[in-house]
Structure 1
Amino acid sequence: MLLRFVDPVDPEQPFEGEGVYDPAVPFVVRITIPSPCGRTHVTYTYDREFLRRGLSGPVGLGEVLAGPAADPHYTALTFAARTSRQMTLLVQYDDLADFLAQTYECAPADTEWDIDLLVARLLKRTDS
């Protein structure tokens, strides 16, 4: 699905990215954007619940953050790579909300894997 972005450093130059979802991996969404040089693309992989929560409030720790932007028409996605500076992009709120709604239609939240439960069960099996 098409997602519209702006760079808060240069808001007059909007650009498009793509939201990609595979129901076979229901808890993951990918967002692909053009690289700064424009010759390649960069893909970020997110927990879709993380992005859903970021629509209404700040979420994340460390290198990846999401949350409402100062302009309510946008959601801010912040990436802080260990070796480079922090980068914040603004995605159109409605685009991201519509994309996430479509993913939940394909695979409702209760069809996602509970990783913590899965790990606990696997550890219990090895203890037996």
Structure 2
Amino acid sequence: MTMRLRYEPSDPYVVRAAFTVLDSDEAVEWIIGRDLLADGLKGPVGEGDIQVRPVIDHDPRDVYILLSPPAGTALLRVSGRDVRAFLYETEELVPRGAETGHVDLDASLAQLLGGG
């Protein structure tokens, strides 16, 4: 399985993770909180559908991502180094704590109300 991470500054609180099974062109996309992914590098976090934790507490080499949709469960082991590098790049675009300055509240409200 491969994982592709994508970040959009216009939606600064989340990371989109696309998972593709080898020998398949079909990807399944999950939306993961950026803070959840970052905090999961340091220790176990998350409840419900998405949980993230280091393979060994405080070991930056690998991270487990547990996805628990209603249809089943998937436990994925990913490179902590790659996730850390990706998150560093997102923080170059939008520093943690500065997300509200990148959210277009009018557009978000219009979309929620069906006008956008």
TM-score relative to the length of structure 1: 0.70
Gaps of 5+ in 1: 1-14, 119-128
Instruction: Output aligned runs, 1:1-20, within 5 Å.
Output: 15-20=1-6
Gaps of 5+ in 2: 106-116
**Whole-angstrom CA distance in 1 between matches of 2:10 and 2:39:** 22
Does the 8 A contact of 2:63 with 2:80 survive in 1? yes
- Relative contact order: is structure 1 or structure 2 higher (C-alpha 8 Å, sep ≥ 6)? 1
Q: Report the residue type matching 2:25 in the other structure.
A: R
**Whole-angstrom CA distance in 1 between matches of 2:50 and 2:23:** 22
**Whole-angstrom CA distance in 1 between matches of 2:74 and 2:50:** 10
Match of 1:24 in 2: 10
Match of 1:125 in 2: none
Question: 50, 62, 75: which one pairs with 2:63?
Answer: 75
Q: Report the residue type matching 1:81 in the other structure.
A: P
Match of 1:58 in 2: 44
1:37, distance to aligned residue in structure 2 (A): 6.8
Over the aligned positions, Cα root-mean-square deviation in angstroms equals 2.2
Match of 1:41 in 2: 27
The count of residues paired between Structure 1 and Structure 2 equals 100
The structure 1 segments of at least 4 consecutive aligned residues displaced by more than 4 Å after TM superposition are none
Report which of the two structures shows the higher radius of gyration computed on alpha carbons.
Answer: 1
